[in-house]
């Protein structure tokens, strides 16, 4: 069972390859079923992994039997495994949704989807910064492919922007890795933290430059102002199941920020401790504001949801900038909640658009939806959740976030921005909902009923919200444990680098 940690990477990899080969390749049904079954298995495996981590604490796995810091290691701590669980849960819903017909609108939907999962899971689990780069590439290249799924002018244009910006990001990533490796001489995240703690003064500023460049890369991935421009167009033009899975992609950026700036440049980093916060806090807060403004300005529902993604990213980045255990715990809980609900809303937007005839999801009067009670209920649950209103998970997340801002200045800023943006989101969503469902012209509905598989997928994702609320007690405790583990650098260092004497820094 000790190989279990590789499953989130290898299982989707294997699945993708099998789908490309006979005998699976020949029939759409076989491709779908393999993809869905594999995702379900993946979900089961990662839950087992989570239980393992709960029992044993941090697990690390030396790929190729080369120990850290020389080889690549995979690290499963509560934080990374929760993120992988989230991804698997989300993926199952998105794949089910896509398997109702969307997957046949272009080639290689399922293989690319599984490759994307491989990349995402790898990025969460790796303990090596260069390996993180590799998995970033895997997930990016797969996402380029998925973004253009089902074709169209908008998608192609959005894809060009997305690809160009991300290639720039990759170049900066590589360069910053070069700078960090050139000064620290290692790429293992834990080892880098050790090296940074004992950094000679003349190298400080170079490492700082490298670290800040790395921040640009992660901020671009997370879509933080002023690097967020690719997001609204990309997410709102991607086909629904793809957009749903993309909801977790911004969170990878946030995760990487959290990981790198609380481990490598955490409180032990001497003069470099907390160097990212000065930049991240204003950027995060501005992103919240921009997302709220964008939500109000959105001409269609998909754009609105994309802007809600921005709000959640801004919130998360601000939390990362606070650099406390409580804020990290809040960030983890909020990540799970916001990822699932925004993903569900992308799917809801698609369901609504399919039933409103020509009007689609644009916020103008249109045909009646053919399943008003079902869709209305789903919309309502999603909207309440994402706006942070009770009784669903959003309000637990919001309470946690507000309580985690303790320092006076950040409290005033964060509180006012979060509360004001909540209000703007409420206004935007109530307007969107009443337009989409209530401003109807004619008595005819604009489309057929939604396929059961798609309805299942949406309910699957939304179901998480009440569950996250009801079990908020144990789940918040879990988040807190994850945060404690993240900040307990001594234990993780002893566990990961324990076998080797920690190298003294250069004279």
Partner 1 sequence: MTLMWILLLPLLGTLVPLLAAKWNRSACALATALPPAIALMLVLLHTGQVLSGETVRFFLSWIPLLGLDISIRLDGLAYLFSLLILGIGLLIILYARYYLSERDSMPRFYAYLMLFMTAMLGIVLSGNLLQLWMFWELTSISSFLLISFWWHKAEARRGARMALTVTGAGGLALLAAFLLIGQVVGSYDLDVVLASTDVIQQHSWYPVLLVLFLLGCFTKSAQFPFHFWLPNAMAAPTPVSAYLHSATMVKAGIFLLARFYPALSGTELWFILVSLTGLATLLIGAYLALFKHDLKGLLAYSTISHLGLITLLFGMGTDLAAVAGVFHIINHATFKASLFMAAGIIDHESGSRDMRKLNGLWQFMPITATLAMVAAAAMAGVPLLNGFLSKEMFFAETLHQHLLGSLSWVIPVLATVAAIFSVAYSMRFIHDVFFNGQPKGLTKTPHEPPRYMRVPVEVLVALCILVGIFPAYLIGDLLHAASASVLGGVVPEYSLAIWHGFNLPLMMSILALAGGTLIYVNRKHLFDFQNTLPDVDALNSFEGGVKSLIARCDQFYQWLDNGSLQRYMMLALLTFVVLAGAPLLELDTLWGGRDELPIDAVNATGAAMLLIAAFATVVWHRKRVVALLMISVVGLMVSIAFTRFSAPDLALTQLSVEVVTVILLMLALFFLPHKTPKQSEAPRVVRDVSIASMVGVLVGSLSYALMTRPLSSISEYFLANAKTGGGGTNVVNVILVDFRGFDTMGEIAVLGIASLGIFKLLTRIPIFKPSSDGEGRPWATERHSVLLSTVAQSLLPLAIMVSVYIFFRGHNLPGGGFIAGLITAVAIILQYIAQGVDWVKARMDVEYQRVVAVGLLIALFTGVASWAFGKPFLTSWFDYFDIPLLGEIELASAIAFDLGVYITVVGSTLLILASLGKMTTSHRPVHKDTI
- Segment 333 to 392, residues that bind partner 1, using CB under 8 A: 384, 389-391
Enter the DSSP assignment of 126: B
499 binds partner 1 (CB under 8 A): no
**Burial (CB count within 10 angstroms: exposed 0-12, middle 13-18, buried 19+), residue 121:** buried
The tokens describing 366, both together, are 């249109």
**Residues of the chain by 3-state class (helix, strand, coil), percent to 5:** 75, 5, 20
Which residues inside 459-498 make contact with partner 1, applying CB under 8 A? 472-473, 476-477, 480
- Choose, by CB under 8 A, the member of 122, 127, 314, 447 that binds partner 1: 122
Strands 59-62 and 440-445, by their bridges, are: unpaired
CA distance 198 to 378: 54
Residue with tokens 């959105």: 298
286 binds partner 1 (CB under 8 A): no
CA distance 307 to 233: 10
Closest approach, Cβ 384 to partner 1, in A, equals 7
44 binds partner 1 (CB under 8 A): no
CA distance 367 to 438: 10
14 binds partner 1 (CB under 8 A): yes
Which residues inside 398-417 make contact with partner 1, applying CB under 8 A? 398-400, 402-403, 415
Which residues inside 168-227 make contact with partner 1, applying CB under 8 A? 168-169, 172, 175, 178-179, 181-187, 202-203, 205-206, 208-209, 212-213, 215-216, 219-220, 226-227
Q: Tell me which stretch binds partner 1 (CB under 8 A): 32-40, 258-266, 435-443, 450-458.
A: 435-443
Which residues inside 62-101 make contact with partner 1, applying CB under 8 A? 62-66, 69-72
41 binds partner 1 (CB under 8 A): no
CA distance 263 to 31: 41
Which residues inside 238-277 make contact with partner 1, applying CB under 8 A? none
Nearest of 103, 87, 97 to residue 42 by alpha carbon? 87
Q: Tell me which stretch binds partner 1 (CB under 8 A): 36-44, 80-88, 229-237, 338-346.
A: 229-237
Helix ranges restricted to H, 57-128: 78-98, 109-125
- Choose, by CB under 8 A, the member of 89, 115, 261, 265 that binds partner 1: 115
The tokens describing 362, both together, are 């644009």
Nearer to partner 1, 40 or 402 (CB): 402
C-alpha dihedral sign at 28, 33, 36, 41: negative
Which residues inside 138-157 make contact with partner 1, applying CB under 8 A? 138, 141-142, 144-145, 148-149, 151, 156
Nearer to partner 1, 151 or 448 (CB): 151
502 binds partner 1 (CB under 8 A): no
H or E segment to which residue 56 belongs:
helix 28-56
Q: Tell me which stretch binds partner 1 (CB under 8 A): 42-50, 336-344, 437-445, 455-463.
A: 437-445
């Amino acid at each position: 069972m000790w190989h279990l940690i590789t499953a989130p990477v290898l299982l989707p990899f294997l699945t993708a390859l099998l789908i490309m080969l006979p005998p699976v390749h020949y029939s759409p049904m076989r491709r779908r079923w393999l993809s869905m079954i594999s995702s379900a298995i993946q979900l089961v495996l990662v839950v087992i992994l989570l239980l393992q981590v709960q029992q044993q604490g941090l697990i690390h796995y030396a790929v190729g039997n080369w120990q850290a810091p020389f080889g690549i290691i995979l690290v499963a701590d509560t934080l990374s495994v929760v993120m992988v669980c989230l991804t698997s849960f989300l993926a199952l819903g998105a794949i089910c949704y896509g398997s109702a017909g969307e997957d046949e609108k272009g080639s290689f939907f399922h293989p690319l989807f599984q490759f994307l999962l491989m990349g995402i899971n790898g990025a969460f689990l790796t303990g090596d910064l260069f390996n993180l780069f590799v998995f970033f590439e895997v997930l990016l290249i797969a996402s380029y492919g998925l973004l253009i799924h089902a074709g169209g002018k908008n998608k192609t244009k959005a894809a060009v922007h997305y690809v160009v910006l991300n290639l720039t990001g990759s170049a900066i990533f590589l360069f910053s890795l070069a700078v960090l490796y050139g000064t620290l001489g290692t790429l293992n995240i834990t080892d880098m933290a050790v090296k940074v703690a004992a950094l000679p003064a003349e190298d400080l500023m170079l490492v700082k430059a490298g670290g800040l460049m790395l921040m640009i890369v992660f901020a671009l991935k997370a879509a933080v102002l002023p690097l967020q421009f690719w997001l609204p167009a990309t997410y709102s033009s991607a086909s629904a199941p793809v957009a749903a899975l993309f909801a977790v992609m911004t969170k990878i950026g946030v995760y990487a920020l959290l990981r790198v700036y609380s481990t490598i440049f955490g409180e032990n980093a001497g003069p470099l401790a907390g160097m990212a916060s000065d930049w991240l806090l204003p950027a995060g807060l501005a992103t919240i504001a921009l997302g709220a403004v964008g939500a109000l300005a959105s001409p269609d529902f998909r754009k609105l949801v994309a802007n809600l993604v921005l709000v959640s990213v801004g919130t998360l980045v601000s939390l990362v900038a606070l650099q406390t255990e409580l804020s990290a715990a809040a960030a983890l809980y909020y990540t799970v909640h916001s990822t699932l609900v925004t993903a569900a809303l992308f799917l809801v937007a698609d369901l609504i658009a399919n039933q409103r005839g020509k009007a689609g999801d644009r916020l103008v009067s249109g045909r009646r939806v053919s399943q008003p009670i079902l869709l209305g209920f789903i919309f309502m649950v999603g909207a309440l959740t994402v706006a942070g209103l009770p009784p669903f998970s959003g309000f637990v997340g919001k309470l946690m976030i507000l309580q985690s801002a303790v320092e006076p200045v950040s409290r005033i800023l964060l509180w006012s921005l979060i509360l004001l943006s909540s209000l703007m989101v409420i206004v935007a969503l109530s307007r969107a909902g009443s337009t989409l469902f209530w401003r109807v012209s004619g008595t005819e509905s604009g489309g057929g009923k939604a396929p059961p598989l798609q309805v299942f997928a949406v309910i699957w994702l939304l179901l998480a919200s009440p569950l996250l609320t009801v079990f908020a007690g144990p789940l918040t405790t879990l988040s807190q444990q994850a945060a404690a583990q993240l900040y307990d650098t001594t234990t993780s260092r002893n566990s990961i680098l324990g076998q080797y004497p920690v190298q003294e820094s250069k004279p």
